[in-house]
Amino acid sequence: MKMSTNELTEDYLERQVLFWRKDITRCIQKPTLVSRLAALDVISQDTSMKHHDGYIKNDALLAAEKLIKAVFKSKAPNKWFSFLQALDEEGLAHLKKLIELGTQETREEREHGRKMIQIFAPELERRVDPLDLLGDLVARGVIDDDDADAVRGMQANNGRRYAVVCLYRRMQSRLRPAQWYYEFLCVLQIQGYTDILEMMEPQFLITPTAYIPKPEDARVPNKPPRDYAVTEHVLQDLLYPSQETKLNANPSIWNADFNIQHASAVGWCFDPLIETMSSDSTAYNKDQMPVALAHDTD
């Protein structure tokens, strides 16, 4: 079910944030969102300082998780509309749209790029100089100047491999998954990393246009299933082949297996008309989860 923006309610937005929580925390890589939420009175200044320190001292994923918990505990009126405003000001338009309207992409489309980077991480860390990619990634809107500076600082202080990890995390924040992955492949090609592409996506070197993401508004989503035991914000590990298997596989066979083994519905969006959920569902327990978040002391 898709809701128009003029039908959004605080209750609906809260449910959506719960449902897409894993994607949201993955995208919030910078502490500047903390300042925006404090300026909108969603969190207090004391809370803001604590979460700024969290981004400085801890992994960004952990810091983002704690920030989301702070918003859930907030008593500010219209806090989720303010949260959307802060995301928009931060340049996270894809994330804002995901919360408002859900997605028309399949789980495979959302996870494919991230999984491919995970499979080939050792080669990427060994062969790719992240500084080579920064200019083109900024020009294509995959990262911004602050992200580029963070990667440069990471390389200067901790070395290239840490900088590569920083880059791959940052470039997953601003665009929908199929889009940032396509742009990443294009930049690898522009910078001459054809050896990497031959390993990761050899078909891209033959027909790169096949990787261009379809416009979201041109796709018709299917009606989502009513089985809420399958969650989005707590994704089960997908059964991907080993790197050796991937390297030895015929690309067309790999793509076919990928689509068949992990078939899933398109156009998933949380249905705000559902008042209760299965008691054994891990996706969302209407009576327990908000209470648990409200009493979390982290």
Q: What is the pLDDT of residues 109-143, one digit of tens each?
A: 888 999 999 999 999 999 999 999 999 999 999 99
> Is the pLDDT score of 244 beyond 70?
no
Instruction: Please report which helix (H) or strand (E) contains residue 154, including its range.
Output: helix 145-158
Range in 154-158, 247-251, 284-288, 289-293 with the lowest mean pLDDT: 284-288
Residues 143 and 150: beta-carbon distance below 8 Å: no
> Is the pLDDT score of 42 beyond 50?
yes
Between 264 and 185, whose confidence is greater?
185
Return phi, psi of residue 44, to 5°: -80, 170
Whole-number percent of the chain with pLDDT over 90: 58
Band of the pLDDT at 56, cuts 50, 70, 90? confident
Q: Which residues contact 84 (CB under 8 A, 6 or more apart)?
A: 13, 96, 99, 100
**Side chain identity at residue 8, one-letter code:** L
**pLDDT tens digits, one per residue of 152-200:** 999 999 999 999 999 999 999 999 999 999 999 999 999 999 999 999 9
Distance separating the N- and C-terminal Cα atoms of the chain: 34
pTM: predicted TM-score of the whole model, two decimal places: 0.69
Range in 16-25, 48-57, 222-231 with the lowest mean pLDDT: 222-231
> Is the pLDDT score of 275 beyond 60?
no
> Is the pLDDT score of 264 beyond 90?
no
Helices assigned H by DSSP within 159-270: 160-170, 177-190, 194-200, 202-206, 243-248, 251-261
Kindly write down the DSSP assignment for every residue of 81-122, as one continuous string. HHHHHHHHHTT-HHHHHHHHH---S-HHHHHHHHHHHHHTHH
**Side chain identity at residue 91, one-letter code:** G
Residues 243 and 120: beta-carbon distance below 8 Å: yes
> Is the pLDDT score of 257 beyond 90?
no
Residues 86 and 30: beta-carbon distance below 8 Å: no
Query: What pLDDT does 217 receive?
Result: 58
**Side chain identity at residue 169, one-letter code:** R
Average pLDDT for the chain: 77
The domains of the chain, with CATH numbers, are: 5-102+272-294 (1.10.533), 107-261 (1.10.533.10)
Band of the pLDDT at 103, cuts 50, 70, 90? confident
Structure tokens at 268: 């998933």
> Is the pLDDT score of 52 beyond 70?
yes
